[in-house]
Structure 1
Amino acid sequence: MPTPLNRRVFLRAAAVAGGTAAFSGALWQQALAGPAQPGPGPYGGLLPADANGVQLPAGFTSRIVARSLRRVPGTRYVWHPAPDGGACFRDGDGWIYVSNSEVPLVGGASAIRFGADGTVTSAYRILLGTSINCAGGATPWGTWLSCEEHDIGLVHETDPRGRQPARARPAMGRFKHEAAACDPERGVIYLTEDQSDGCFYRFRPQTWGDLTEGTLEVLVGSGTGPVTWARVPSPRLWITPTREQVSGAMRFDGGEGCYYANGICYFTTKGDNRVWAYDAAAQRLDLAYDDDLVTGGEPPLTGVDNITGAASGDLFVAEDGGNMEINLITPEGTVAPFLRVLGHEESEITGPAFSPDGTRLYFSSQRGESGVSAGTDGYTYEVTGPFRH
């Protein structure tokens, strides 16, 4: 095996020797057959930082919609510490942004409701008494799956409107959950695991829309190319950890964000700075981005973490560390910075999510300017502008 110092050179050589088909993700079938490469972004370069310390392209503006341990402006609700994974949901003529809290024992999740003009109308709790709620995912039936990131963590299904009680979904497994993404075409939910030797899972509910019962499966394979799935024998209660129950399960170095669109599930791994593309119809795994396969300069995207997408097909990937950017990956295979937060060097960007109409992007700086590990200085932002559709 190559040493860490020459891994990038080794992988580049392997890609060239094996031809572009070795790494041709489904995202690139009509464009560049290979992982994304640096280039000019569709919105142009970043301008100097605005009053909120955010660098954006021309035509875009930012505002801070919440601060940890402070009242959300216009409400009496105190925003949670360490804001993490998030999603948006339609709500009448407005929308709701949901955000997890990645702290022990009292983590849970909160929500901010916006009116049609973007005015904050209320904020409230939707999940209490859970621990280290990291990322998660929205369901097609309008609930938020909040995932606990510890060894016996659960997925909790919550109501973004706060009307129905949250419910644990143990059939989806007990492990160090990170993110979830729903595939309505096949009636499955993909799940990532934040372990250095973690796995990639899918949950097949007995009835689509009801997560009470179902089958948890793990991806089996040896790398890019064809893969299969195998049932996890004991996902609810175990002596042998979930990720070690199936021989041949493929290992991933720190599973993070997960996003599904148009037959492809994209997920990230922070240990090797990769964005993977799983083609669900072909049951094939490929690479959409790998910093070791970037040619011609330094990789713009490092510390890959949460991921979301726009109607245009652009992927938006947040950085944990790096230089506090959200980078976008276009369908044409270009990766470029979309925004950068200055003065938050010890933080990470979390929870990117678009409003239902695609005109606003929400995200958080989990530890803010202070970098305090408890996340008591978290910031939650909104960016508005001419996003591609």
Structure 2
Amino acid sequence: MNSPIIDHDRRKLCRLGLGGLSALFIAPFTFTTQNIAAPLQSATVGMLQAPDENGVRLPVGLASRIVARSEQNLFGYQWHAAPDGGATFSTPDGGWIYVSNSECRKGKGGAGALRFNRQGVLVDAYSILQGTHNNCAGGATPWQTWLSCEEVERGSVWECDPFGKREPVIRETLGRFQHEAVAVDTHTMQLYLTEDKPDGCLYRYTALEFDTAGFPDLTTGRLDVMQIVDRQNNRVAWHPLRNPAARYQPTRKQSVLATHFNGGEGIWYHNGFIYFTTKGDNRIWALDTTRQTLKVIYDAAQHLNPILTGVDNITANAAGELLVAEDGGNMEIVMLAAGTIKPLLQIVGHDRSEITGPAFSPDGSRLYFSSQRGANGRDQDGITYEISGFGSSLR
């Protein structure tokens, strides 16, 4: 597909405000925006230092620890191979849970959980999904569930209980396709989904019914696919799909009007915007859910020496600054905001791996992620990390 309008002024980087955006516009080296709601904090992130004992390069003030290794026995649960997408959930005792997918094939995938107490001590580990296929990314919901996505043809979305008390459930209304990730618009309670195919689509789920808390029923809604209808003004429209769970016709081919994206990856919602990455062309996109406009906010092809390539999983801190994990590239998590694109961390010696599952603890003080295949490049060599030391200026 053709790119939305790109300004070729490469002279400077302006602020990328991920809260209160009313107009967003990308240049090869320039972010411009209006109505920044709060000061951003990426300027407080310093240069990466030499690798620590875990092979992680970090700015001064941050520290790493390894919390799990694939095939390690933790409280009777063998931490899964090929850890991928992840998210955190608060617990009633003041602690939190980190959920992680397993991108293993042929029924060996699923998802597991690490539970931490309020002091950050690991106190439990367990499975929340088993016997599935290529569970790549997914997304957390405001109603405290984890949506685990199967990245296979006609893959499903499984709704899982991070606490491990309820059985996982397939959500057929979210379609059968090569799912990558999900983000929930916490204002409208609509769900947005990416598809990891060279001709993948962006989808939106709208519920027809809601519970008493205002959360959507995922059994009776409508799945739409996006079309860019006005490239000059970047406007989009949505078209309903006849049968999202059809056995014989791929979901992405049910509408001839659909716009196709080259390898949809991570997706995140913040303050009226849906941000998603496409690894096939190394772009980051921003969908204004109110104005229904879509723009490229980062395009590696427009940089002479791009800091960020292999764009994949995406998250944000409380200030709304984007953190993008690299699949390949320099094995970094890269921060975009406040006039800069800079690495937050780098894993050294893991050239055959990818960084997956970045997620902040609920209080913003710690960041979790994995090296999916570790230093040896094998699924069974995955490593899951915690980065601590985030003060209020970095959360």
| TM, length-normalised to structure 2 | 0.88
Partner SS for 2:46: coil
Give 1 or 2: higher helix fraction: 1
Equivalent runs, 1:1-389 vs 2, <5 Å: 15-16=7-8, 33-35=25-27, 37=29, 41-72=43-74, 75-92=75-92, 93-104=94-105, 105-207=107-209, 208-221=215-228, 223=231, 225-294=234-303, 297-330=304-337, 332-372=338-378, 375-387=379-391, 388-389=394-395
Partner SS for 1:292: helix
Counterpart Cα distance in 2 of 1:15 and 1:251: 23
Partner SS for 2:221: strand
Counterpart Cα distance in 1 of 2:242 and 2:4: 38
Q: CA deviation at 1:351?
A: 0.3
Listed one character per residue, the Cα deviations across residues 133-178 of structure 1 (whole Å, up to 9, x for unaligned) are 0000000000000000011100000000000111000111000000
Q: CA deviation at 1:305?
A: 0.2
Does the aligned pair in 1 maintain the 2:18–2:270 contact within 8 Å?
A: no
Does the aligned pair in 2 maintain the 1:31–1:333 contact within 8 Å?
A: no
Counterpart Cα distance in 1 of 2:50 and 2:363: 27
- Identity, in percent, stands at 51
Counterpart Cα distance in 2 of 1:170 and 1:32: 34
Partner SS for 1:129: strand
Partner SS for 2:44: coil
Segments of structure 1 that go 5 or more residues without pairing to the other structure are 3-10
Counterpart Cα distance in 2 of 1:381 and 1:14: 37
Partner SS for 2:225: strand
> Is the alpha carbon distance of 1:238 and 1:77 closer, same or farther for their aligned partners in structure 2, counting shifts above 3 Å?
closer
Partner SS for 2:220: strand
Aligned residues: 369
Counterpart Cα distance in 1 of 2:181 and 2:68: 23
Counterpart Cα distance in 2 of 1:25 and 1:276: 14
Counterpart Cα distance in 1 of 2:306 and 2:246: 41
Listed one character per residue, the Cα deviations across residues 54-102 of structure 1 (whole Å, up to 9, x for unaligned) are 0000100000000001123xx2321000000000000121000000000
Does the aligned pair in 2 maintain the 1:311–1:358 contact within 8 Å?
A: yes
Counterpart Cα distance in 1 of 2:236 and 2:4: 23
Q: What is the one-letter code of the residue matched to 1:220?
A: Q
Counterpart Cα distance in 2 of 1:63 and 1:298: 31
Counterpart Cα distance in 2 of 1:220 and 1:31: 20
Q: Compute the RMSD of aligned alpha carbons.
A: 2.5
